[in-house]
Amino acid sequence: MNVIAGRIAFFFLAATIAPAFWFLLSSGSDTQLQFVKHIMLIATLGWFASAGVWMYGKQKPPTAPADHSQ
């Protein structure tokens, strides 16, 4: 489950940036920009949904711990 969610998450992450590269190579019309915005929104929602499942489901390695000296 986590492996699948992870792969889907990376797909959506790639889909967040891919439209911007496509736009850079396109003719840059308003219609194309609107299309890019829609794809970025869908990819954003997809990333948070799938990455949420993925990250909550796995044991993450520790990050640099914290200072609570106060």
Partner 1 sequence: MSPDAHSSPEPPPAENSDVSNEYEREPVPAKARLGFKSFIGQYAGEHCAGTELMIGPLFVAAGVGAFDVLAGLLLGNLLAVLSWRFLTTPIATSARLTLYYHLELICGQKLVTLYNVANGVMFCFLAGSMITVSATAVGVWFNFPMPGLGDVAPNSVGWVLAVLAIGVLISIVAATGYNSVARFANLAAPWMVLVFLAFGLIGLKQFITASGVSIQGAGDLWELCNTVIWTGGDPLPGQVKFTLYHVMFFAWFCNMAMHVGMSDLSVFRFAKNNRAGWATASGMYVGHFMAWLAASILYALQLYNNPENTDPLPGPMAAQAAGVAGLLCVIIAGWTTANPTIYRAGLAFQAIVPRVSRFKVTLAAGLLATFAGLFPGIAMQLLGFVALYGLILMPMGAIIVVDWYVLERLGLARHYARRAGLPFNYAAALSWVLTLAVCVTLVKIDATIAGVKPFQIYFVSLPGWFIAAGLYILLSKIMQSNRDTLPADPIPGDPS
Instruction: State the minimum distance, in angstroms, from the CB of residue 70 to partner 1.
Output: 4
Per-residue string for binding with partner 1, 48-67, x by CB under 8 A? x--xx--xx---xxxxxxxx
- Identify residues 26-45 at the interface with partner 1 (CB under 8 A): 26-28, 33-34, 36-38, 40-41, 43-44
Q: Is 1 in the site for partner 1 (CB under 8 A)?
A: no
* Residue (of 42, 34, 35) closest to 16 by Cα position: 42
CB 46 within 8 A of CB 15: yes
Assign residue 28 a region (left: φ > 0; alpha: ψ between -120 and 50; beta: otherwise).
Answer: left
